[in-house]
Amino acid sequence: MQTKITRRQFLKKATITAGIVTFPSIVPETVLGRGKNIPPSDRIVMGCIGLGGQGNYNMLAFASQPEVQIVALCDVDEGVGYYDNLYQFPYSQAAGLVPARERLFKHYADKNKPIFPTSIESYKDFRELLARKDIDAVTVCTPDHWHGLISIAALQSGKDVYCEKPLVNSIDEGRAVCDAVREYGRILQTGSHERSNDSVRYAYELVRNGRIGKLHTIHINMPNNDPHHIRLIKNTGPKPVMPVPQGFDYNMWLGPAPWADYTRERTHFWWRFILEYGGGEMTDRGAHIIDLAQFINDSDDSGPVEIFGKGMPIGNGLYDCFIEYDFECIYPNGVRLIGGSEGDRGLKLVGSDGWISIHIHGGRLDAEPKSILKESIAPDEIHVERSPGHHRNFLDCVKSGKKPIAHEEIGHRTATICHLVNIAMLTERKLKWDPEREQITNDDKLNKMVSKPKRSPWRL
């Protein structure tokens, strides 16, 4: 097990690599621990890997925490920002190194928060960032096909990890991440932030304490009715090969995925609808909604034993994920998880005496009878830990060594279900799944789909 270098130990070091970490000649006394700011010995130094829409969001969320100082950013794209005016939806903020660095400096200036250390270094290769000994933790907010490899490399380098959902892009990668967390004694939080909502945790207590009777069915609704889904359906025809934009290391972006000629709509944001890099809505918001089903069904360390489904892929060439789907998963306890692409986005927990629904995003609750939502949980009933916020929970666990609310096993098990449903739809076969051995037991050929081949030199 690697020894974790604390902030205090780092500050006692006699030498600091020139050009990577620098100190101001006049240090504000708040930085030294006087006044209201966090003393240097308690600071958590972070680097951010992947700076698209969600990467920017997580970067600023952590930069807003009082003890966090972000000193390094990494992205294969310097920040062409071409989809700022190409796609008009919330993900349109400019991505990449330059815009993110400017955004971070502005954040620190607006908050009047001293930068400690004062330099923010930029990297295109995550391995260079991970080689830094002064960084305690990293965010991994790349496309899904990079999540597992970068998270494992970060854990091996002695860093704690906040990795966006879905945790991994194949089932075998998930087990490898869990093994690495254990081997290197680190902390990993999956970015399934809906799990931290107080209303979700209250719903867990209501269900586990029998307020809807015996839970027997969980309905998963994942409609594809957002503007970008509509654009996907209409976006037919061939996608022309294009020159790679200046400042974009496209070969590194592909990484372990097979080589494919560059076209603009293969990469930023739209990669998630190509099965080689993502899993469509099944691994996008499905990784939120199915995660809550896992949580409330008390199956965070397990999963269903039968999975079947059918779906309609987008089928317009570049994009091959499923845009319509119906699927069902059966758990060992008899609970049925039934999913589809209709209805209000979220999940509905149905018991013998009533139901509770949770809306995504935000966690708004509905119930029948409505009086369920006025119930108090008695001291001697089942309670679940409340979260101070998903990012805050990660930082608290980095300090304490406790498991986060969405730790690696939780993220892996949720991603597994998402991938199994996609496999079932791709093959049009019912899958028999052994959650303990993590194998498809009714077909050896199907079982090979729990992993994805990797382009040399990348491997688990």
State the Cα–Cα distance between residues 399 and 42, nearest whole angstrom: 9
Q: Between 119 and 324, whose confidence is greater?
A: 324
Residue 221 amino acid letter: N
pLDDT of 234 reads 79
pLDDT above 70: percentage of residues in the chain? 86
What does the pLDDT look like over 189-210, one tens digit per residue? 999 999 999 999 999 999 999 9
pLDDT of 79 reads 83
Structural tokens at position 172: 């075998």
| 377 DSSP 8-state letter | P
7-194: in CATH 3.40.50.720: yes
Whether pLDDT at 80 is above 60: no
pLDDT of 94 reads 65
Question: What is the DSSP pairing of strand 44-49 with strand 68-74?
Answer: parallel
Contact 169, 177 (CB under 8 A): no
pTM across the whole model: 0.89
pLDDT of 22 reads 32
Structural tokens at position 270: 């739209």
Q: Tell me the average pLDDT across 380-391.
A: 97
Contact 63, 108 (CB under 8 A): yes
Contact 254, 274 (CB under 8 A): no
Mean pLDDT, the chain, integer: 88
pLDDT of 53 reads 87
Q: Tell me the average pLDDT across 412-416.
A: 98
Q: Tell me the average pLDDT across 126-144.
A: 97
In this prediction, residue 230 has a pLDDT band, given cuts at 50, 70 and 90, of: confident
Closest CA to 190 of 359, 405, 451: 405
In this prediction, residue 96 has a pLDDT band, given cuts at 50, 70 and 90, of: confident
Whether pLDDT at 117 is above 60: no
Q: Tell me the average pLDDT across 417-430.
A: 97
Least confident of 89-93, 150-154, 267-271: 89-93
| 354 DSSP 8-state letter | E
The H helix count followed by the E strand count for the chain is 13, 15
pLDDT of 274 reads 96
In this prediction, residue 115 has a pLDDT band, given cuts at 50, 70 and 90, of: low
Class of domain 198-386+408-450: alpha beta
In this prediction, residue 20 has a pLDDT band, given cuts at 50, 70 and 90, of: very low
**What residue segments make up the domains of the chain, in order of their start?**
7-194, 198-386+408-450
Whether pLDDT at 86 is above 70: no
Whether pLDDT at 11 is above 80: no
Q: Tell me the average pLDDT across 240-262.
A: 95
Sequence-separated (6 or more) residues with CB below 8 Å from residue 448 = none
pLDDT of 236 reads 77
What does the pLDDT look like over 30-62, one tens digit per residue? 333 333 456 666 899 999 999 988 999 999 999
